[in-house]
């Protein structure tokens, strides 16, 4: 087993990996940019080294510098987390050349699965169902010909894409030219590669992903599915495990397909196969994420398997030590991604100092975070403040626990997406579990927070409650013939004090 691991990342995922290392008796080495000098992951690590100025290209993406720091610190391995260099095959190759273990799959595996066209070709050859469409890069003329062949609607996608970048849905013929132009331009800007391919658009799709674990001895298992259909602009917002209404038969079939996909590329480590599930129960391979996923915690909650520790053990040359028969589903888990964004102002970023930070707790509640009270959210990186995970014996218990945890979660000094999550958790279609990837656009106005009605009603209710509480205190004091502390206080002042203490308004 490794004695020391460098974490080539920041924020909540760096903290998550550091905790796993410490539980395994492994020293953790952090890196930090100039603005992250006082970050939580730096405070938790055993050692920390500067890696450059705030821009990621000059710090967290400097491959040679990071490997140099790892060797100087005596770290035998590097865990990339997610984002930054996590799916960079060249970085994995560099680590191998320099004698540092990369905790993840080999570079050629990442390149094969990171390129969507190559991945589709590989999956088709392995017998894994793929969305009807092309399996080669297309010129604009070829793309137009394919669209005419398979018919609208279609998705135009970047071959090197991910995270919703370089994607355009085309429903009408007059949208084709603009869709091709914008997808190609965005792909070039985001990935340095403007190649595109075409997929048939699956109507009312659900986004279901299967977590896999594989070692270097040919062992590969899946840890069941996650439902990731609550999305805004192709970005996941809320995830659940297990999926809603997934039958045992469908679960087993999708699990077998995910394992076949991993074995087809000789995968090693933790990975996720993402599928689209249509209304008829047909599923299609979408892509494979060759890293730990943001939402891995809900799979850990329902299986009891520590995915990050499993990654470390496999990278150290150990066997998985878990057979498919050893894992089962216990209860239901939900994750809400809390971002420093203003849901009342088109989700614009809300950087700044966190003046008050009071995360929820209690049974079945987990908070993975990289911030603390007094920390600053900078505009240089992903605006995630925390991941809030709740577990319950049933889905309804998990939902109620998430509602309670969201009410308890107090973050002041910046705006967060908490009010938006609260609305989702009260929506009848979400509560019934019968949503697809179009939920936010179709049922929540694209994510526009309802403030004109719901927000005002909430404020009025709180003020009325404050007035009622003041009247009760005054009446008790009168009956007792004594003065109760605060009984002469204005109800508006009482309301203001409650608000400052975090009682409902954020």
Give the residue numbers marked as catalytic.
291
Q: Please, what's the b/e burial string for 328-363 (b: 16 or more CB within 10 A of its CB; e: otherwise)?
A: ebebbbbbbbbbbbbbeeebeebeeebeebebbeee
Q: Torsion angle of alpha carbons 359, 363, 366, 371, nearest 10°?
A: 20
Pairwise CA distance, residues 299 & 206, whole Å: 18
Pairwise CA distance, residues 41 & 308, whole Å: 16
Tokens of 458: 């909430």
Q: Where are the alpha helices (DSSP H) in 36-115?
A: 40-44, 63-73, 89-97, 107-114
Tell me which residue of 185, 150, 188, 186 sits closest to 170, measured CA to CA: 150
The CA R_g of the chain, rounded to the nearest whole Å, is 24
Q: Please return the burial class of 266, using the count of CB atoms within 10 Å of its CB with bins 0-12, 13-18 and 19+.
A: middle
Pairing of strands 77-79, 4-7: parallel
- 68: Cβ–Cβ under 8 A, 6 or more apart, which residues? none
Pairing of strands 27-33, 4-7: parallel
How far CA 323 is from CA of 219, 223, 308, in Å, comes to 8, 11, 17
Spacing of C-alpha 455 from chain mean position: 27
Q: Which contiguous run of DSSP H or E holds residue 19?
A: helix 11-23
Cβ contacts of 160-165, under 8 Å, gap ≥ 24: 160/114, 160/115, 160/116, 160/187, 160/191, 160/192, 160/193, 160/195, 161/116, 161/187, 161/190, 161/191, 162/87, 162/114, 162/287, 163/234, 163/235, 164/233, 164/234, 164/235, 165/190, 165/191
Pairwise CA distance, residues 313 & 26, whole Å: 12
Tell me which residue of 307, 206, 215 sits closest to 254, measured CA to CA: 206
- 114: Cβ–Cβ under 8 A, 6 or more apart, which residues? 87, 89, 160, 162, 290
Pairwise CA distance, residues 300 & 16, whole Å: 13
- The answer to whether the CB of 371 falls within 8 A of the CB of 414 is no
Pairwise CA distance, residues 502 & 498, whole Å: 7
């Amino acid at each position: 087993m490794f004695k020391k691991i460098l974490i080539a990342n920041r924020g909540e995922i760096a903290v998550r990996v550091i905790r796993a290392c410490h539980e395994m008796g492994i020293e953790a080495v952090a890196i930090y940019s100039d603005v992250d000098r006082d970050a939580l992951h730096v405070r938790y690590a055993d050692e920390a080294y500067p890696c450059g100025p705030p821009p990621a290209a000059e710090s967290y993406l400097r491959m040679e510098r990071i490997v140099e720091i790892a060797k100087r610190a005596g770290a035998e391995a590097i865990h990339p987390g997610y984002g930054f260099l996590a799916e960079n095959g060249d970085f994995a190759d560099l680590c191998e050349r320099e004698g540092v273990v990369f905790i993840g799959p080999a570079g050629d595996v990442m390149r094969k699965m990171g390129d969507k066209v190559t991945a589709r070709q590989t999956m088709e050859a392995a017998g894994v169902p793929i969305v009807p469409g092309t399996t080669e890069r297309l010129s604009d003329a070829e793309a137009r010909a394919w669209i005419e062949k398979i018919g609208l609607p279609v998705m135009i996608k970047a071959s090197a894409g991910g995270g919703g970048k370089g994607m355009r849905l085309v429903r009408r013929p007059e949208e084709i030219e603009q869709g091709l132009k914008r997808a190609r331009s965005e792909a070039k800007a985001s990935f340095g590669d403007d190649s595109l391919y075409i997929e048939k658009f699956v109507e009312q799709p659900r986004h279901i992903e299967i977590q896999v674990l594989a070692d270097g001895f040919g062992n590969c298992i899946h840890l069941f599915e996650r439902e990731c259909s609550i999305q805004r602009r192709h970005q996941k917002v809320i995830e659940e495990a297990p999926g809603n209404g997934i039958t045992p038969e469908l679960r087993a079939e999708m699990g077998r397909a995910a394992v076949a996909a991993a074995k087809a590329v000789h995968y090693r480590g933790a990975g996720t196969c993402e599928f689209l599930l249509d209304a008829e129960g047909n599923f299609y391979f979408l892509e494979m994420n060759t890293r730990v996923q943001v939402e891995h915690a809900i799979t850990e909650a329902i299986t009891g398997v520590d995915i990050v520790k499993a990654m470390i053990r496999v990278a150290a040359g150990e066997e998985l030590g878990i057979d498919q028969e050893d894992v089962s589903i216990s209860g239901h888990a939900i994750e809400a991604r809390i971002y420093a964004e203003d849901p009342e102002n088109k989700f614009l970023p809300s950087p700044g100092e966190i003046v008050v930070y009071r995360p929820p707790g209690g049974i079945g509640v987990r908070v993975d975070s990289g911030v603390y009270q007094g920390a600053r959210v900078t505009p240089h990186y992903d605006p995630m403040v925390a991941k809030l995970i709740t577990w319950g014996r049933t889905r309804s218990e998990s939902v109620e626990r998430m509602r309670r945890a969201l009410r308890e979660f107090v973050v002041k000094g910046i705006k967060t997406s908490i009010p938006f999550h609260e609305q989702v958790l009260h929506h009848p279609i979400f509560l019934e579990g019968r949503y697809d990837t179009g939920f936010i656009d179709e049922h929540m106005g694209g994510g526009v927070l309802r403030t004109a009605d719901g927000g005002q009603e909430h404020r009025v209710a709180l003020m009325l409650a404050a007035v009622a509480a003041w009247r009760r205190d005054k009446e008790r004091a009168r009956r007792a013939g004594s003065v109760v502390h605060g009984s002469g206080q204005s109800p508006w002042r009482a309301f203001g004090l409650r608000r400052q203490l975090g009682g409902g308004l954020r």
